[in-house]
Structure 1
Amino acid sequence: MEPRTAWQALARRRFPLGSWPWRAGAYLATGALVGGIAALGLIVLGAFSLFLVGLPLLLLSGPVLAALERRRLRLVDLDTAPDPHRTPATPGLAAWLRLRVGEQATWREFGYALLLAAVLGPLDLLALAACVGLPVALLAAPVQLAADGHEAKVVKAYLVTTYPEALATALLGAALLVALAYPLAAVAGARAALARALLAPRETAAPGAIGEVIASRARLVDAFEAERRRIERDLHDGAQQRLVALTMALGLARLDAPPGGPLAEQLAKAHAEAGQVLTELRELIHGIHPQVLADYGLAAALTDAADRSAVPVATGDVDDDLPRLPPAVESAAYFAVREALANVGRHSGADRARVAARHADGVLRIDVEDDGRGAADPARGTGLTGLADRIAVLDGTLTIMSPPGGPTLLRVEIPCSPASASSVSCSPRTASS
């Protein structure tokens, strides 16, 4: 297998005869050149930044230099160096600047620019002078002697006066050029590894791969929600309707049975048991996917969840004009509130709670707050860990602020846009008695 980096090439027997020593020399030579230019540019921009004029340019010089450095890496590292920056969600220079300033990669690249200008560039030049400059100066001894005619002072230290001495010096330079190709490539490999670690770590996935992972995750979430809705629909239209029919048949049979007899007693027990099963099935269906959520949206579903809570819940801060959101978002938000209110009733000792919900700036924000004892810990098995994972799949966050003594605030934030009419299934069913 062909080597992909300078370090891998060092293990090859034919390394001195290949292209890798030339690649390493070119990488260090261009590094010294870029380092010098970067030092000059940073000094100029630093002077202008004293008047706040060059401050943005000073910061953004890092990404520009990093893009050049990722291209230079191809000299000694054949693996593609991906760009770690994200694409702004909205067009425009302001959005681009806000995104870049907030990214860790931008600050790493700025730090690398300072390091290149102050340390790496001079080191590149020093390594190049020691591993290439010295052997080349020795190789040039015969040329220097011929040009002078009498003597040649090699590397300003060794005086050569005869051609045999000049030839011996040139042979020594050739041997050193081959021998020093190894440390030259090692230095270039170390430089490239440092540049990659700071500017394009190997674990950073390519933008296309990231996009595919996000799309695949979105498809899985949609498929999961579709399957939940299918199960809810099948139970509602199938098993529940049959239980309703069975309950009605048992009720009619009770009317026809002689009162007070053993048959009437057994039918009454069967009728009561069927009613209990029907009630439990309705609760199960509501837990899988509440019909009020599918038919009327998140605001109505949150109000319904508050009405079912064991603790009084104020819903005045729920925006009645919440738009219809993607089904996966509505479902995750609804069950987060359900779980939070269940925890309030079971663990908090609260007298009242509050639910707030609104959609603004492309983000759904929901707060559930109670006046309980606080000190809520998701690690104690309250179900919040699973909810946090489910919300994280939607690129959302679940935050819990619960100091000892309370109050406890659970906040859900999910980035999303209003759903199109075709993506929201609204097919109200007639409630069964």
Structure 2
Amino acid sequence: MAVDQDAADGDRSAGLKATVVQATRAAGAAIGQLASGLGTSVLALLVLLWLAATAVASLVGVGLLVAPAVLRVLHGLAGRERERLGRWGPEVVSPQPSPTRLRPALVDPATQREFHWLVRHATLGLLLGLLGVLLPVLAIRDSAFPLYWKLAPANATATSVGVGVAHSWPDALAVTLLGAGWIAIILGLTPGMARLQARPGRRFLAAGPEVDLSLRIAELTSTRAAALDAHATELRRIERSLHDGTQNRMVSVTVLLGAARRMVARDPAGADELLERAQSAAEQALAELRSVSRSILPPVLKDRGLAGALSGLAAECAVPCRVDVDVSQRCAASVEATAYFVVAEALTNIAKHSGAGRAAVTVQARGGRLHLCVEDDGQGGADDERGSGLAGIRRRIAAHDGTLTLVSPPGGPTTLKVELPCGS
């Protein structure tokens, strides 16, 4: 009975620990989301004030000249918010391009929805973003009070809520309890605050029922075609590798074995030499088969995960390469394989064409998407239209409905950024 009780206590302790870890991660992600929303909400407030000033100036005709510029800024800010929401959750499908001329914009449903979002994000979104940034500061200040209270002036306000306390150890511990209360509030409320801040954007910035989604359908059709092309290209590559390498080795083994069998009676020494050559050819064929199988889905991904696999690529790269992977949980196998091949191809290009002295690979998982960045200090000038494997990288990424951004000015440096949905 005592053993069963100890096991039950252990299970409850493990369950409590898992709950605390999950709540802490959710609160950390929520604070990051609220902080990012604070940036767009400040911009939303500025655009809202600009819109109000333009509306007032339009009464005398001056604002009519500025209205197209304001509308362009509004559409641009709405697009930026869609991208932000997509990084922290499901993608927000944008409607067709909105008009920038005043009269069509006034009757355009998408523009009207963007205006509704602007008002809410500039008010409620700004307030929630400020709270999301302020709460951790208050928690740190009060929780750490016992570490610095002796250094503070005697008449200084001790707590974040403006209540002064006497500078003594009991009062310092009481302030620490207030910090624990802030931490409890952060763990309990910030995920809901983040959802509340994002709700207007997901409601008003997504394509409404009146919007024609033919553009999105065309985009999905294009990415499906890219996936099929990438699959066909991969099959052709495997077929060439097997035909030009492994098959020729096996033919050589067959020929050598046949010659050795005919020579074994009259020339045992020569037959032994042919058998050694056949064995060497068979070993080379096996090595090539292993290489082809690894290129289909590298076993190192299953054995060591994405971080270990990328570290192995960096260790084999001719250019010194630093790898920083921050992925808390495994992504889909196809996504990890795509990330692996993107980095492998990018490092190969760096070693062959860039003349770089160093390279860096950074991988992060945020908002349901895998963010991958490969940088080098080489000569730049990379262009996927001129080959170098970049076109193949773009096809692999398009197959997952991901995005690729390449910045490679002449003279360098070169930065390759890739975003992939983690669950695709």
From the two aligned structures, give the one with the greater helix fraction.
Answer: 2
Larger radius of gyration between Structure 1 and Structure 2: 1
TM-score, length-normalised on structure 1?
0.42
